[in-house]
Amino acid sequence: MEAVGYSLTQHPDMQLETLADDAIDIVCAAQQENGYLDTHYIINNLDNAFTNLRDAHELYCFGHLAEGAIAYYQATGKDKLLHTVERYADYIDSVFGSEEGKCKGYPGHEIAEMALAKLYEVTKNTKYLELGRFFIEERGKTPYYFDLEHKTTLKEGDTTQRYLYNQAHLPVRQQKEAVGHAVRGVYLYSGMADIARITGDEKLYQACETLWDNITEQKMYITGGIGGTNLGEAFSFNYDLPNDTAYAETCASIGLVFFARRMLEMKPDSKYGDVMERALFNGILSGMALDGKSFFYVNPLEVLPEASHKDERKFHVKPVRQKWFGCACCPPNLARLLSSIAAYAYTESEDTLFVHLYMGSKVDKKVKNETGSDSMVQIGIEANFPWEGKVTISLKSQEKTNFTLALRIPDWSRGFILSDMENEQQRMKDGYLYITKTWDKEESFVINFNMETSLIRANPLVREDFGKAAVVRGPLVYCLEEADNGKNLHLISIAEKPELKEITEEFLGQKPVIITGKGKRLKEESFEKVPLYFHEDQEIYEDVELKWIPYYLWANRGEGEMQVWTKK
Amino acid sequence: MEAVGYSLTQHPDMQLETLADDAIDIVCAAQQENGYLDTHYIINNLDNAFTNLRDAHELYCFGHLAEGAIAYYQATGKDKLLHTVERYADYIDSVFGSEEGKCKGYPGHEIAEMALAKLYEVTKNTKYLELGRFFIEERGKTPYYFDLEHKTTLKEGDTTQRYLYNQAHLPVRQQKEAVGHAVRGVYLYSGMADIARITGDEKLYQACETLWDNITEQKMYITGGIGGTNLGEAFSFNYDLPNDTAYAETCASIGLVFFARRMLEMKPDSKYGDVMERALFNGILSGMALDGKSFFYVNPLEVLPEASHKDERKFHVKPVRQKWFGCACCPPNLARLLSSIAAYAYTESEDTLFVHLYMGSKVDKKVKNETGSDSMVQIGIEANFPWEGKVTISLKSQEKTNFTLALRIPDWSRGFILSDMENEQQRMKDGYLYITKTWDKEESFVINFNMETSLIRANPLVREDFGKAAVVRGPLVYCLEEADNGKNLHLISIAEKPELKEITEEFLGQKPVIITGKGKRLKEESFEKVPLYFHEDQEIYEDVELKWIPYYLWANRGEGEMQVWTKK
Please give the ipTM for the structure prediction.
0.92
The sign of the dihedral angle between the CA atoms of B2, B260, B510, B244 is negative
Terminal CA-CA length for chain A: 47
Q: Specify which residues A429 forms β-bridges with.
A: A432
Nearest CA in chain A to B413: A535
Contacts of A231 in chain B (CB under 8 A): 312-313
Instruction: State yes or no: is A329 an active-site residue.
Output: yes
- The three-state secondary structure class of A349 is strand
* Residue B360 DSSP symbol: S
Backbone angles phi, psi at B186, to 5 degrees: -70, -25
Q: What is the DSSP string of A522-558?
A: E-GGGTTT--SEEE-----EEEEEEEEEEGGGTTSSS
- Long-range contact set of residues A148-152: C-beta below 8 Å, sequence gap at least 24: A149/A51, A149/A52, A149/A53, A149/A54, A149/A105, A150/A52, A150/A54
Contacts of B454 in chain A (CB under 8 A): 535-536
Answer whether the bond into residue A300 is a cis peptide, omega within 30°: no
pLDDT above 80 for A203: yes
pLDDT band at residue B503 under the 50/70/90 scheme: very high
Q: Do B534 and A459 touch (CB under 8 A)?
A: yes
Check if A527 contacts B (Cβ < 8 Å).
yes
pLDDT, position B159: 63
Nearest CA in chain B to A220: B532
Q: Do B229 and A311 touch (CB under 8 A)?
A: yes
Residues A268 and A354 sit within 8 Å (Cβ to Cβ): yes
pLDDT above 90 for A325: no
Check if A231 contacts B (Cβ < 8 Å).
yes
State pLDDT tens for residues B452-500: 999 999 999 999 999 999 999 999 999 999 999 999 999 999 999 999 9
State pLDDT tens for residues B397-418: 999 999 999 999 999 998 999 9
A216 to chain B nearest CA, in Å? 8
Burial code (b: 16+ CB inside 10 Å, e: under 16) for A142-164 equals eebbbeebbeeeeeeeeeebbbb
Q: What is the Cα–Cα distance from A401 to A437, expressed in whole angstroms?
A: 8
B426 to chain A nearest CA, in Å? 27
The closest of A152, A146, A148, A149 to A165, measured between CA atoms, is: A146
**Facing B236 at nearest CB: one of A232, A311, A530:** A311
Considering the candidates A86, A110, A138, A233, report the single residue annotated as catalytic. A233
Nearest CA in chain B to A217: B532
Check if A454 contacts B (Cβ < 8 Å).
yes
* Residue B210 DSSP symbol: H
Instruction: State yes or no: is B28 an active-site residue.
Output: no
H or E stretch covering B95 = helix B80-95
A451 to chain B nearest CA, in Å? 13
Considering the candidates B233, B464, B481, B482, report the single residue annotated as catalytic. B233
State pLDDT tens for residues B375-404: 999 999 999 999 999 999 999 999 999 999
pLDDT band at residue B423 under the 50/70/90 scheme: confident
* Residue B295 DSSP symbol: B
Check if B315 contacts A (Cβ < 8 Å).
no
CA dihedral A33, A37, A39, A41 (to 10 degrees): -80
Nearest CA in chain B to A530: B459
Q: What is the mean pLDDT of residues B27-39?
A: 97
Considering the candidates A61, A121, A329, A452, report the single residue annotated as catalytic. A329
pLDDT band at residue B326 under the 50/70/90 scheme: confident
Q: Do A306 and B237 touch (CB under 8 A)?
A: yes
pLDDT band at residue B364 under the 50/70/90 scheme: very high
B80 to chain A nearest CA, in Å? 44
The closest of B355, B440, B342 to B396, measured between CA atoms, is: B440
Q: What is the mean pLDDT of residues A200-208?
A: 98
Q: What is the Cα–Cα distance from B135 to B361, expressed in whole angstroms?
A: 37
Answer whether the bond into residue B268 is a cis peptide, omega within 30°: no
SS3 content of chain B, % helix, strand, coil (to 5): 40, 25, 40
Contacts of A220 in chain B (CB under 8 A): 532
Contacts of A459 in chain B (CB under 8 A): 527, 530-534
pLDDT above 90 for B234: yes
B356 to chain A nearest CA, in Å? 20
Check if A508 contacts B (Cβ < 8 Å).
no
Check if B520 contacts A (Cβ < 8 Å).
no
Which residues, 6+ apart, have CB-to-CB distance to A109 below 8 Å? A57, A59, A60, A181, A183, A184, A187
Q: What is the Cα–Cα distance from B79 to B126, expressed in whole angstroms?
A: 19
The sign of the dihedral angle between the CA atoms of A461, A464, A469, A475 is negative
Q: Which of A179, A216, A533, A541 is the best residue to mutate to test the B interface, defined by the most B CB atoms within 10 Å of its own CB?
A: A533
**Facing A532 at nearest CB: one of B218, B455, B463:** B218
Q: What is the Cα–Cα distance from B65 to B87, expressed in whole angstroms?
A: 12
Residues B473 and B449 sit within 8 Å (Cβ to Cβ): no
pLDDT, position A520: 97
The sign of the dihedral angle between the CA atoms of A277, A278, A282, A288 is negative
B170 φψ region: left (φ > 0), alpha (ψ -120 to 50), beta (else): beta
Domains and CATH numbers, chain B: 1-155 (no CATH), 345-449 (2.60.40), 453-567 (no CATH)
Check if A534 contacts B (Cβ < 8 Å).
yes
Q: What is the Cα–Cα distance from B333 to B252, expressed in whole angstroms?
A: 10
Residues A457 and B522 sit within 8 Å (Cβ to Cβ): no
Q: Do A462 and B491 touch (CB under 8 A)?
A: no
**Facing A532 at nearest CB: one of B245, B458, B488:** B458
pLDDT, position B156: 59
Nearest CA in chain B to A565: B533
Q: What is the Cα–Cα distance from B277 to B272, expressed in whole angstroms?
A: 9
Contacts of A567 in chain B (CB under 8 A): 467
- The three-state secondary structure class of B376 is strand
Max CA pair span of chain A: 83
Per-window interface: A 57-116 vs B, CB < 8 A: none
Contacts of A468 in chain B (CB under 8 A): none
Q: What is the Cα–Cα distance from B561 to B480, expressed in whole angstroms?
A: 8
pLDDT above 80 for A528: no
Check if B32 contacts A (Cβ < 8 Å).
no
- The three-state secondary structure class of A504 is strand
